[in-house]
């Protein structure tokens, strides 16, 4: 009898170390990635009356509320900028981060059924969330651009500059921070479900520790240094400074945020890779 060697189409091997990421395998599953992105977009407002218009309505209504509460009642400074522009700039950046963070933080619990039946790179799910949220952000940015052009041609005190070219880099940093925090929290909540409630409360407070509804310049230098410990501070301020010409920009703050993102992603991936091996026993 002749010995015939079987050729396997798929070989599943244990990871060499916790920081291993098989980019080739993720690329092979790009069709699944695209399917998840399409699903996220379609199901978000599937059975709603206004459908995708909610992508515009949500930031518009939030901006109006901020103008009334923080602009008219609290009279918080916007550094002389038109209130709609100032608030929209912060809302667009914050919404992308918070949406990615909230959705990726439930990766294991929301996908336990499919994870237990079919094998595919688990990072596909949070990566698809970051991608689909990017599409939503693009739609909301179109609202910001429309309002921006209105005030720009109306002669408002707006001075865009070359730092606006950093915008793609800022989006990558937001994606990295939300992905890192999200997969880290998702890994922890497989055992400790009450962390989900605690985390939801923290995210709500986090926005007020980020210069979304107020300029960083209204604080003293000591308080600005404390606020700069928040890695989102430099990202939001850099976008406002580049697009509107008024705000606080610092290469050192931006470098700190970038370094924070890299460390956070590394820690998140280590914990994620460790938990995904045995999370079905605890979910």
Per-residue pLDDT reduced to its tens digit, 183-215: 888 888 777 766 777 787 888 889 999 999 999
Report the distance separating Cα 57 and Cα 260, nearest Å. 33
Report the distance separating Cα 123 and Cα 186, nearest Å. 12
Per-residue pLDDT reduced to its tens digit, 17-75: 555 666 777 788 888 888 888 888 777 666 666 666 777 888 899 999 999 999 889 88
Q: Does residue 277 lie in a domain region?
A: yes
Q: Does residue 12 lie in a domain region?
A: no
Q: Does residue 83 lie in a domain region?
A: yes
What total of structural domains would you count in the chain? 1
Residue 253, pLDDT score: 93
Report the distance separating Cα 273 and Cα 125, nearest Å. 14
| pTM, two decimal places | 0.85
Q: Does residue 10 lie in a domain region?
A: no
pLDDT of residue 173 exceeding 90, the answer is yes
Q: Does residue 257 lie in a domain region?
A: yes
pLDDT of residue 175 exceeding 90, the answer is yes
Q: Which two tokens stand for residue 223?
A: 């308080």
Burial tier of 43 (Cβ tally within 10 Å: 0-12, 13-18, 19+) = exposed
What letters, b where the CB count within 10 A reaches 16 and e where it falls short, cover 18-41? Answer: eeeeeeeebeebeebbeebbeebb
Q: Does residue 9 lie in a domain region?
A: no
Q: Mean pLDDT lowest for which of 92-96, 117-121, 146-150, 221-225?
A: 117-121
Domain that holds residue 54: 23-37+50-281
Q: Does residue 3 lie in a domain region?
A: no
Q: Does residue 60 lie in a domain region?
A: yes
| Helix 251-275 and helix 231-244, axial crossing angle in degrees, nearest 10 | 130
Q: pLDDT band at 14, cuts 50/70/90? A: low
């Amino acid at each position: 009898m002749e010995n015939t060697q079987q050729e396997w189409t798929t070989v599943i091997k244990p990871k060499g170390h916790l920081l291993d990421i098989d980019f080739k395998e993720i690329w092979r599953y790009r069709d699944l990635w695209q399917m998840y992105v399409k699903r996220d977009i379609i199901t978000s407002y599937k059975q709603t009356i206004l459908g995708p218009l909610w992508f515009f309505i949500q930031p518009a209504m939030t901006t109006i509320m901020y103008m009334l509460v923080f602009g008219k009642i609290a009279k918080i400074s916007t550094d002389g900028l038109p209130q709609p522009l100032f608030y929209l700039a912060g809302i667009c950046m914050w919404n992308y981060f918070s949406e990615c963070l909230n959705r990726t933080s439930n990766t294991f619990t929301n996908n336990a059924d499919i994870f237990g039946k079919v094998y595919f790179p688990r990072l596909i799910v949070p990566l698809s969330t970051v991608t689909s949220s990017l599409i939503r952000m693009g739609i909301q940015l179109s609202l910001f651009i429309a309002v921006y052009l209105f005030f720009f041609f109306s002669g408002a005190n707006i001075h865009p500059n070359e730092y606006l070219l950093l915008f793609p880099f800022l989006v990558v940093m937001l994606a990295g921070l939300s992905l890192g925090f999200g997969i880290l929290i998702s890994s922890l909540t497989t055992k400790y479900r009450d962390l989900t409630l605690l985390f939801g409360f923290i995210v709500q407070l986090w926005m007020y520790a980020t210069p979304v509804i107020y300029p960083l310049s209204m604080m003293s230098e000591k308080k600005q240094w404390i606020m700069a410990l928040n890695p989102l501070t430099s990202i939001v301020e850099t976008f406002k400074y580049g697009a509107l010409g008024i705000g606080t920009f610092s290469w050192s703050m931006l470098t700190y945020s970038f370094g924070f993102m890299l460390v956070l992603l590394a820690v998140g991936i280590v914990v994620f890779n460790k938990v995904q091996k045995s999370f079905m026993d605890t979910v």
